[in-house]
Copies of this chain bind each other. A is one copy, B any other.
Amino acid sequence: MNLNIALLPGDGIGPEVLAQAVKCLQAVEETFNHNFIYKEALVGAIAIDKKGSPLPDNTLNLCKESDAVLFGAIGDPKYDNNPNATVRPEQGLLKLRKALGLYTNIRPVKVFPTLIENSPLKKEIISGTDFTIYRELTGGIYFGEKKINKEGTIASDLCEYSEKEISRIAHLAFKAAKNRRNKLTLVDKANVLESSRLWRKVVAKIGESYPEVKLEYLFVDNAAMQIILNPKQFDVILTENMFGDIISDEGSVIGGSIGLLASASIGDENALFEPIHGSYPQAKGKDIANPIASILSAAMLLEHFKLFEEAMAVREAVDKSLKKGVVTPDLETKSQYGTNQVGDFIAENIVDSE
**Chain A contacts to B: CB under 8 angstroms:** 119-122, 125, 141-142, 144, 146-148, 152-164, 189, 192-195, 197-198, 201, 220-222, 224-225, 228-229, 242, 245-247, 249-250, 252-254
Task: Provide the main secondary structure of the chain A interface.
Answer: helix
* Residues on B with beta carbons closer than 8 Å to the beta carbon of A252: 225
Asked whether B193 lies within 8 Å of A221 as measured between CB atoms, the reply is no
Q: A155-B160, A157-B159, A229-B253 are in contact. List 12 more A-B contacts (CB 8 A).
A: A120-B121, A141-B159, A148-B194, A148-B197, A154-B161, A154-B162, A154-B198, A155-B194, A155-B198, A157-B195, A224-B246, A224-B250
CA distance A141 to B189 in the complex (A): 11
Q: Tell me which of A158, A246, A249 has the highest count of chain B C-beta atoms within 10 A of its own C-beta.
A: A246
User: What's the Cα separation between A121 and B221 when bound, in Å?
Assistant: 18
Contacts A228-B250, A246-B221, A250-B225 known; A163 to B153 CB distance under 8 Å? yes
- Whether the pair A158, B161 counts as a contact (CB closer than 8 A) is no
- Pick the residue among B125, B156, B193, B221 that contacts A160 (CB under 8 A): B156
Complex: chain B residue closest to A94, CB-CB = B192
Chain B proximity of A105: nearest CB distance (Å): 12
On whether the beta carbons of A162 and B157 are closer than 8 Å, the reply is no
Ranked nearest first, the 3 interchain pairs of A and B with the lowest CB-CB distance are A155-B198, A146-B194, A156-B160
C-alpha spacing A242/B224, complex, angstroms: 12
- Measured in the bound complex, the distance between the Cα atoms of B121 and A148 in whole Å is 41
- Shortest CB-to-CB span from A234 to chain B, Å, is 15
**14 A-B pairs whose Cβ atoms sit less than 8 Å apart in the complex:** A121-B228, A141-B193, A142-B192, A155-B194, A156-B160, A156-B194, A157-B193, A157-B194, A158-B158, A221-B250, A224-B224, A224-B246, A224-B249, A225-B249
Complex CA–CA separation, A242 to B228 (angstroms): 19
Q: Which residues of B contact A162 (CB under 8 A)?
A: 153-154
For A198, give the chain B residue with the smallest CB separation.
B155
Q: How far, in angstroms, from A23 to B160 measured CA to CA in the complex?
A: 50
A249 CB contact (under 8 Å) in B144, B157, B159, B222: B222
**Pick the contact of A197 from B155, B201, B225 — CB < 8 Å?**
B155
* Contact across chains for A163 and B156 when beta carbons are under 8 A apart: no
A120 to B229 Cα, complex, angstroms: 6
Tell me, rounded to whole Å, the shortest Cβ–Cβ distance linking A92 to chain B. 15
Which B residue's beta carbon lies closest to that of A224?
B250
CB contact under 8 A between A195 and B156, given known A120-B121, A220-B246: yes
Closest-CB distance, A342 to chain B (whole angstroms): 25
Query: Is A254 a contact of B228 with CB atoms below 8 Å?
Result: yes
Cβ distance A278 to chain B, nearest Cβ, rounded Å: 12
* Chain B residues with CB under 8 A of A159: 141, 156-159
Partner of A221, one of B120, B164, B245: B245
In the complex, chain B residues whose CB is within 8 Å of the CB of A154: 160-163, 198
B228 near A228: Cβ-Cβ < 8 Å: yes
Rounded to whole angstroms, the CA-CA distance of A240 and B222 in the bound complex is 18
A122 cross-chain contacts in B, Cβ below 8 A: 119-122
A30 to chain B, nearest CB (A): 39
Nearest chain B residue, comparing its CB with the CB of A147:
B194
Q: Which residues of B contact A147 (CB under 8 A)?
A: 194
In angstroms, Cα B154 to Cα A247, docked, is: 24
